[in-house]
Amino acid sequence: MVDADGNRYVDLTAGFGVALIGHGHPAVVEAIQKQADVLLHALGDLYPSSVKIELLERLCALSPWPEARAMLSLSGTDAVTAALKTAVMATGRPGVVAFEGGYHGLSYGPLAVSGFAERFRAPFDRQLNSHVHFARWPDTDDAVDRALRSLPNDWSEIGALIIEPIQGRAGVRVPPRGFLNELGKRCRQHGVVLIADEIFTGLGRCGAWWRSVQDGLIPDVICVGKALGGGLPVSACIARKEVMHAWGDPDREAIHTATFYGDPLGAAAALATLDVIEKERLVALSETRGEAFAQALERASLRGVSEIRQVGTMLGLQFEAELGALRVTRALLERGYLVLPAGEHADVVQLVPPVTLSQARFNDFVDALGQVLKAAP
């Protein structure tokens, strides 16, 4: 990346996870240019463009269910809104189980189920869904039972459970193996729609198309966004056919839509992005490159870093000191590296680089980080 003054930066945030295939990938740019010459805007659900239909079919084919249905939108927040609406349509129950530390967006529906952080919800609390129950996040193996015990005793009003397979903004927090599978059992037992928020973790970021499935869970609904549009705002809510069928006959008037949902330009960009991920085998590359990156960080014996968490090219460097990530973020910026602080106490450096970033760039970053930490007081 180059700023207005000509300074060059290596982006290890991938634009908040958007640039999984890199910034301005030529195939995506070409697809956008071609579509711009054909049609910029169509009549959405009334008279959809051919590229919108193609994208919906492509996403459903990538789902973990034999039959799926999908709705397109613009942001991850939109996708979560659609998922929450789908759950209440399917179950008739207003209650939602979410998790402390979870981040699902800041519009009203997603904000109500976002456990990170209370300061985001507080000004609007009286207008939010009052039927949300926040469960503990299991950060260690011995915390699994405690987390499960924090789930509701009475599920009669619970229609949905929403979870990030890995909590991103909370500090790249990875649940213990088997926890997601156990949640799936609980939801099936109580007839609850399980929503996997794969907006950050999906599309190969974690070394699989869907992190939840990789970790042994088949959810009822998957939310996808960020990287889907290759830089343009595109998102989707994908669900099992039986769950999505609750919306009724598609020939009826749409009660959940928006003017620009599934616009031709965004759909064309998303199709090109999916092509790049498949043709360049970025799902497998994310796994191998992320492992190599984590190993290089481990070998560096980074001062003040107590833990390195890594799944695919999603990494979190846990610092011993609160606010430690803020100081490191600034120092790395001065050396030409874009990273983000994460965690409730800004004590995690979040690394989500483009999967296409070269190993040489990773190695240079590790050297720079080591120098920054050695120079810290």
State yes or no: pLDDT of 37 exceeds 90: yes
Q: Which residues contact 145 (CB under 8 A, 6 or more apart)?
A: none
Mean pLDDT, the chain, whole residue set? 95
In Å, how far are 13, 74, 338, 361 from 1, measured between CA atoms? 11, 24, 9, 13
Helix crossing, 264-279 with 50-62: angle to 10°?
Answer: 40
Closest CA to 180 of 165, 168, 190, 192: 165
**Given pLDDT bands bounded at 50, 70 and 90, which one contains residue 344?**
very high
Contacts of 367 (CB under 8 A, 6+ apart): none
Query: Which pLDDT band holds residue 249 (cuts at 50, 70, 90)?
Result: confident
Which pairs count as long-range contacts for 291-295, CB under 8 Å and 24+ apart, including other chains?
Answer: 292/359, 292/362, 293/351, 293/353, 293/362, 293/366
Q: Enter the tokens of residue 231.
A: 């830089």
Grade residue 283 by pLDDT with cuts at 50, 70 and 90.
Answer: very high
Q: How far apart are CA 41 and CA 364, in angstroms?
A: 43
In this structure, of 32-36, 37-41, 139-143, 200-204, the range with the lowest mean pLDDT score is 139-143
CATH 3.90.1150.10 residue spans of the chain: 10-21+281-375
Task: Assess whether the previous peptide bond of 61 is cis (omega < 30° from 0).
Answer: no
81 has pLDDT over 80: yes
**Residue-wise pLDDT tens digits, 363-376:** 999 999 999 999 87
Instruction: Look up residue 110 and give its two tokens.
Output: 């997603």
184 in Cβ contact with 194 (< 8 Å): yes
Angle at 170 between CA 169 and CA 171, to 5 degrees: 90
What confidence tens digit (pLDDT) does each residue in 98-157 have?
A: 999 999 999 999 999 999 989 999 999 999 999 999 999 998 777 888 898 999 999 999
Q: What secondary structure does DSSP assign to 252-317, as a single string?
A: SPPSS--TTTT-HHHHHHHHHHHHHHHHTTHHHHHHHHHHHHHHHHHHTT-TTEEEEEEETTEEEE
Query: What mean pLDDT comes out for the span 339-351?
Result: 96
In the chain, pLDDT over 90 holds for what percent of residues? 91
Count of Cβ atoms closer than 10 Å to residue 241 Cβ: 13
CATH topology of domain 26-279: Aspartate Aminotransferase; domain 2 (3.40.640)
Tell me if residue 319 falls in helix, strand or coil: strand
Please tell me the pTM assigned to this model.
0.96
> What CATH number should be reported for the domain whose range is 10-21+281-375?
3.90.1150.10
